[in-house]
Amino acid sequence: MENQNFSILVVDDEKNITDLLKDILEDEGFNVDVAFDISSAKEKIKEKDFDIVFLDVWLPDGEGTDLIPFIRENNEITKIIMISGHANIPIAVKALKEGAYDFLEKPISTESIFAVIEKATKEIKKDLEYIFLKQQQTKDIEIIGNSPPMQELKKQIERVAKTNAWIMIFGENGTGKELVAKSIHFLSDRANKPFVDINCAALPDDLIEAELFGYEKGAFTGAVSRKPGKLEIADGGTLFLDEVTDMSLSAQAKLLRVLEEKEFTRLGSNQKIRVDIRVISATNKDLDKEIEEGRFRQDLAFRLAVIPIHVPPLRERGQDIILLAEYFLKKSCIENKIEPLRLSDDVKKALLRYDWPGNVRELKNLMERLCIFASGEEITVEDLPPYIFKGKSPSGRKKIEIKPLKKVREEAEKEVIQLALEKYGRNLKEVAKVLDIDLSSLYRKLKQYNLEE
Ligand SMILES: Nc1ncnc2c1ncn2[C@@H]1O[C@H](COP(=O)(O)OP(=O)(O)OP(=O)(O)O)[C@@H](O)[C@H]1O
């Protein structure tokens, strides 16, 4: 941010002071306005957003501090710098307590103006970066879905958000684990502090310490400047360890040590740093199996998974599939400046029947593609890729995994019924006959598997 982008208001009834500040600050390229009393200052503040306000302690129509709440209401990051004679220092100190940023003592020297302005502009740049980051982070945390498992998940999120407990989120790829982690963070008391995420799967073993703890300049070849670690950046906030079970055993040992001791040192430094962080981790693996087979430390698992949260796969969320599809379609149309598109009824049925091995991420990507390539106002079955109708993933192969037999039976039943429906053109009597069940059981199963017309 260049100086000309900063707006400064000088509020003082002594013309020699307003002239001095205006001259010096304008020479430095700042944008400067002047007011001689509280009421004209208020008018100016209503019209324009000021980054910095120089404010005299005494003004003809009241105390300068009276203006502080008004400035705060208009812009919470404005830096207020009180101007005070030596006798009024106690008032300036009181102003600091009420939200002023600093004060200048009369007679004002050029050096003191430069010093205070440099400090304030640096702070504003930091505030703006933080606000930008926060907006980026909060923008995408709406969790769409009303199905019973999602209602239960949302309740759980609200319950745990208010606690400080460490959480491990379980779920297949693309189910929304990161979204759940962010939503817990932004509902918690830590919401105004950073949410810092680390993808443990992508972190090479020799970089983990530098990434977590940071380093001092010259700590190792390539450390050209000092860099804070993710633990330090997350101080006061939440650290999200994505794909935590993909960490190597030696990295797990290092992480465990810090989590137990709650302090660490930057590489190349002896100074201990203490942090206050909440850890949320996530995995798409079966944690018990990872422990049993020696790939994940049990002591670390105990620490991280104080509260387990399970995010259901998309295929178990019924009508949420349509809600999400319409949501992503609308979003893509807006982002790509395309007229709104609808899904035909047959498309909805096909989406409900498909098993979504890539979960919400797969649905989101499909909707983005459909939005860009759609030929009319309505998306029809002809627009869908063929694998959607086969109930198979794009790779064409179904993954076999160990799961409760009840689930295996249900999935197999769904597939056979789907096939029969396609083959007999939804002649339900015929379908019931070939499946050797009565019509009422067939209706029940169609409902259970979302296969109704
Ligand atoms: N219920 C939901 N409502 C809205 N968007 C969602 C929902 N669930 C997931 N998404 C979106 O789907 C995408 C994938 O979600 P996310 O990255 O949170 O999944 P994940 O389980 O962490 O994936 P991975 O296991 O690959 O790390 C993201 O763009 C996310 O915003």
- Written in H, E and C, the secondary structure of the chain is CCHHHCEEEEECCCHHHHHHHHHHHHHCCCEEEEECCHHHHHHHHHHCCCCEEEEECEECCEEHHHHHHHHHHHCCCCEEEEEECHHHHHHHHHHHHCCCCEEEECCCCHHHHHHHHHHHHHHHHHHHHHHHHHHHHHHCCCCCCCCHHHHHHHHHHHHHHCCCCCEEEECCCCCCHHHHHHHHHHHCCCCCCCEEEEEHHHCCHHHHHHHHHEECCCCCCCCCCCEECHHHHCCCCEEEEECHHHCCHHHHHHHHHHHHHCEEECECCCCEEECCCEEEEEECCCHHHHHHCCCCCHHHHHHHCCEEEECCCHHHCCCHHHHHHHHHHHHHHHHCCCCCCEECHHHHHHHHHCCCCCHHHHHHHHHHHHHHHCCCCEECHHHCCCHHHHCCCCCCCCCCCCCCHHHHHHHHHHHHHHHHHHHCCCCHHHHHHHHCCCHHHHHHHHHHCCCCC
453 in a domain, yes or no?
no
Asked whether 361 lines ligand 1 (CB < 6 A), one says yes
Same domain as 157, residue 287 = yes
Same domain as 13, residue 132 = yes
Ligand 1 atom nearest to 150, measured from its CA: 1
Crossing angle of helices 148-161/177-187, nearest 10°? 40
| Domains in the chain, number | 4
Same domain as 291, residue 162 = yes
The residue among 276, 310, 344 that closes a domain is: 310
**Distance (Å, rounded) from C-alpha 409 to C-alpha 390?**
18
Q: How far is the CA of 167 from the centre of ligand 1 (A)?
A: 17
399 in a domain, yes or no?
no
Same domain as 347, residue 222 = no
Q: How far is the CA of 102 from the centre of ligand 1 (A)?
A: 44
Q: How far is the CA of 178 from the centre of ligand 1 (A)?
A: 6
Same domain as 294, residue 183 = yes
395 in a domain, yes or no?
no
In sequence order, what are the residues at sequence separation of 6 or more whose Cβ sits closer than 8 angstroms to the Cβ of residue 365? Answer: 358
pTM: 0.62
Asked whether 379 lines ligand 1 (CB < 6 A), one says no
The residue among 310, 335, 368 that closes a domain is: 310
Tens digit of each residue's pLDDT, the chain (453 residues): 567 778 899 999 999 999 999 999 999 999 899 999 999 999 999 888 899 999 999 899 999 999 999 998 888 889 999 998 877 778 877 888 888 999 898 889 999 999 999 999 988 888 877 666 666 556 567 899 999 999 999 999 999 999 999 999 999 999 999 999 999 999 999 988 889 999 888 777 778 888 888 887 777 776 666 677 888 888 889 999 999 999 888 889 988 988 888 788 888 877 788 888 999 999 999 999 999 999 999 999 999 999 999 999 999 998 999 999 999 999 888 888 788 889 999 999 999 989 999 999 999 999 999 988 887 889 988 888 888 886 444 444 455 677 788 888 888 888 888 877 876 777 888 888 888 898 889 989 988 888 887
Q: How far is the CA of 323 from the centre of ligand 1 (A)?
A: 15
Same domain as 236, residue 122 = no
Asked whether 242 lines ligand 1 (CB < 6 A), one says yes
CB distance 271 to 232 below 8 Å: no
CATH of the domain at 123: 3.40.50.2300
CATH of the domain at 194: 3.40.50.300
Residue whose CA is closest, atom 18 of ligand 1?
176
In sequence order, what are the residues at sequence separation of 6 or more whose Cβ sits closer than 8 angstroms to the Cβ of residue 91? Answer: 57, 63, 65, 82, 84
Same domain as 348, residue 213 = no
Same domain as 144, residue 131 = no
Domain of residue 377, residue span: 314-390
Whole-number pLDDT of residue 141:
79
Asked whether 313 lines ligand 1 (CB < 6 A), one says no
Ligand 1 binding pocket mutation candidate from 364, 365, 366, 367 (most atoms within 8 A of CB): 364
Asked whether 290 lines ligand 1 (CB < 6 A), one says no
**Distance (Å, rounded) from C-alpha 428 to C-alpha 29?**
79
Same domain as 291, residue 279 = yes
CATH of the domain at 416: 1.10.10
For residue 399, CA distances in Å to 241, 293, 360, 415 come to: 26, 21, 18, 15
398 in a domain, yes or no?
no
Asked whether 175 lines ligand 1 (CB < 6 A), one says yes
ipTM of the prediction: 0.98
Ligand 1 binding pocket mutation candidate from 138, 179, 185, 240 (most atoms within 8 A of CB): 179
397 in a domain, yes or no?
no
Same domain as 232, residue 150 = yes
Same domain as 354, residue 437 = no
CATH of the domain at 324: 1.10.8.60
Asked whether 140 lines ligand 1 (CB < 6 A), one says yes
Residue labelled with tokens 């203490």: 274
- Minimal CA–CA distance to 243: which of 346, 171, 313, 328? 171
Asked whether 42 lines ligand 1 (CB < 6 A), one says no
Same domain as 370, residue 339 = yes
